[in-house]
Amino acid sequence: MSVSNPVTHRFPARGRARGLDAWREAEDLVKIRWRAFLEADDETRSPAFASYVAALDAEEAAAADMAVLSQMAA
């Protein structure tokens, strides 16, 4: 999600709602990837962990977007 989107500036509540949805989706993906890592066998454990870390990075980015959107609303 880009916080420089003109729709976000014109409709800040809509932008925050979309940001919150993106954050929740990223959080759900973290849970899914963590479970996949826990269930991975020796051969797939390393790629599963890398996938989990990538999901954490995406969740962190979504949280940062939400922080910016919250500051814009203040």
User: Per-residue confidence at 26, pLDDT binned at 50, 70, 90?
Assistant: very high
Indicate whether 55 belongs to any domain.
yes
- pLDDT of residue 65 exceeding 70, the answer is yes
Q: What is the mean pLDDT of residues 41-62?
A: 97
16 or 45: whose pLDDT is higher?
45
Number of structural domains found in the chain: 1
Task: Look up the domain containing 36 and give its range.
Answer: 28-74
The predicted model scores a pTM of 0.76
- Per residue in 21-57, is it b (16+ CB within 10 Å) or e — as a string? ebbeebbebbeebbebbeebeeeeeeebeebbeebbe
Q: What is the mean pLDDT of residues 43-61?
A: 97
Indicate whether 1 belongs to any domain.
no
Indicate whether 49 belongs to any domain.
yes
Q: What is the mean pLDDT of residues 34-57?
A: 98
Q: What is the predicted pLDDT for the residue at 68?
A: 86
Indicate whether 12 belongs to any domain.
no
